[in-house]
Structure formats: structure tokens, C-alpha cells
Amino acid sequence: MLKHFLDLATPGVRGLKPYQPGKPISELEREYGVSGIVKLASNENPLGPSPQAVEAITAALGDLGLYPDANGFDLKARLARRHGVGPECITLGNGSNDVLVLLAEAFLRPDLAAVFSQYAFAVYPIATQAAGAESRIAPAIAPDLPGAYGHDLDAMVGLLDDRTRLVFIANPNNPTGTWIAAERLESFVSSVPDNALVIVDEAYAEYLDDPAYPDTVSWLDRYPNLVVTRTFSKAFGLAGLRVGYAVSHPDVADLLNRVRQPFNVGTLGQVAALAALDDEAHLARSVAMNSGQRERLTAACAGWGLTVIPSACNFVLVDMGRPAEPIFEALLRAGVIVRPVANYGLPNHLRMSVGTPEETGRLIEALDPILSGA
């Protein structure tokens, strides 16, 4: 019977492998019988949501019997002011993941193609394949070159043709933590023909404070085929509520809203996101703590002789110098969850989210005997 249902599915879906999230705490408790677990696998904000967001959620609990605002009027208006665009440029998503899938649904079909980098976010190939389109994967920058493991934009340009409809660029990138400066990225965007949309996925943008980081939304007037996506799941600490958005030309937003589910962002997500945007102090605390603990974790890894890819995000990608799965398993038994990335083609690497000082200390303490062979 299983084969029969597979035959009924579309070709793209038949060959899909589901997205593999980080192991949840409850699963580790069941499988290993450990407690006091530290989860550093999914790049969540360890400080959690803004207190103002929690207050807004509490105040909105009485409205849960009603459908949310399907158009997200207040949140779209607030985001439009934040980015200096009209509300008609905003598309809300159930996390930015949702918006990425909407783009594939709206613009891809079996005779078209999407382009992305070798070590880019796993949702890009999933969304492309589900639409039945061709995935064109550009090799990443070689490990011995500057920007190692990051996007090779020249290689991506070489994959563009009249069948290309979407080009995905994560900036900063997950799982590598690498990023592209404004001048180089704009040069690439300007070279993409207008038959293709360039999607710049900025899920981790809030963690990067560098004058060379691009203000891509300000480019929309020059490049109407540009789409910028953002999320509240990372620095804003709202991963459990699933709120994201895209900023684009109004005509692109109109098409996305034709395939968007009408209530894709719930009431609690909308009010929490609004409050989170107003709590700049909480965001600043989150970013500052992340910077300090990322440096601490990077230094510890260097002390063990491990190679860490320089990261602009709330995680580090570490070359363990050997197959990483046994180290991952040993950490699980110590009650620390990190992320193996063999599914990205990096079997010797682990992605480690940045935690609080206490969580980072637990990770370092757990790694030390594993790496020293004690």
C-alpha cells in the first residue's frame, strides 16, 4: 500500500527527504534518561522572548476564540515603517520558512530552476524539489580560500539562464555563519536577469553589526526582482510562535498573498512580534550576550586545535577533524544537544548554537573530556 501512495504523489514529493530539525529536549530525555539538558542545536535565542512580548501574549489570550487578522494590518504597518517601505511590500509568513515555500509555490514549476549554494539552508532544495523544479547547486568557496564554505557568487552566476526563476542567498548563511558584504552582493544582484527573483534570506541579520553589511531593502527601487526575508525566530526569541516576513516589490507581494494561507500568522504571533520590535533593549542584550559567548566558544574550540568557520550568527560551525557523529552522541549522553550537519555534506562538522554563559560553560565542560580522550 505504501508504494501505491508513493505512486500517487507528485514526482518532486516522492523523492523528498523531510527536513531534520534539531533533537528536542523531550526526545533526549526519553531516549537517554538524562535530565538538566542544554539544547544548543536550533539557533534559538537563549534569553527567550522580550518581556514586553510575553506581556502582549498574556493580554491577547482572551482573543484566542477569534481568528487572527488575516492580513496582519498592524504588524505589516509596523514592519513597513521599520524598513521604510509601503505595507503593500510586506508578506507575512509562519516563520520566514513559510515565505520561502510561498516563493517556490508562486514561481517554480517542473520546467524551471532555482539556484543556491552548496552549504545553504536545507529548505531551499526542499521547496524547489516539492515544486518539481530543478535545483542548481553552486559549489561553495573552497576551505583554503578567504570566505571558506561561503557563497561563491561567480559560480552562482554561471548557473543562471532563461529557465532560472529563483536564486536563494542566505546572508548571513546557515549552517556556515558566513556573510557577503554590500558591494559584492549588489554587484551580484545587478547581474541577475529580470526573469529571476533574487531572495536574500536575512534570518540572522540582527546579529551582524558591521558597516559593510548591506541594507538590501533600500535596493528594492533599483532591483524590483529582489526579495528580502526576515524572521522573529532568532534574535527576537519567538521561535515557538513562527513569525516571519518578506519585503519585496508590491507585485511580488501580491502574488505571494495569492498562495499564502489566510491565517498563517496567529494572533499571539502578531502581538508578540509587534511588542518585540518595540523592545530594543532586549534585542541589544541578546546580541551583546551572543557576541561574547560566541567568542568564548570559538576560543575554546581553537584551544582544542579545532577549526571554526568565522561566524556572524548565533552559532559556530566547527570542523572536528574526524567524523562528528560519535562526538555528537557523546554530547547527547552528557545532556548537551548540538547539531550534526552531515545532511549538508559536512560529516566532520558540528553546528553549535551560542547559549547563555551557563549553557556555553556546560558545552565546553562536556566537550573537554570527549576531545582529550579522557
| pLDDT for 9 beyond 80 | no
The band of 26, judged by pLDDT with boundaries at 50, 70 and 90, is confident
pLDDT at 30: 76
| pLDDT for 1 beyond 50 | no
Distance CA 171, CA 174 (A): 8
| pLDDT for 35 beyond 90 | no
| pLDDT for 144 beyond 70 | yes
pLDDT per position as a tens digit, 207-251: 999 999 999 999 999 999 999 999 999 999 999 999 999 999 999
Q: Are 276 and 236 in contact (CB under 8 A)?
A: yes
Give the percent of the chain with pLDDT over 90: 87
- Domains in the chain, please, with CATH? 9-39+281-372 (3.90.1150.10), 51-279 (3.40.640.10)
Which residue would you say has higher pLDDT here, 46 or 36?
46
| pLDDT for 282 beyond 50 | yes
pLDDT per position as a tens digit, 48-87: 999 999 999 999 999 999 999 999 999 999 999 999 999 9
DSSP assignment, residue 122?
A: T
Distance CA 330, CA 300 (A): 18
Q: Mention every residue, 6+ apart, whose C-beta is less than 8 A from residue 37.
A: 25, 28, 29, 335, 336, 337
pLDDT at 5: 67
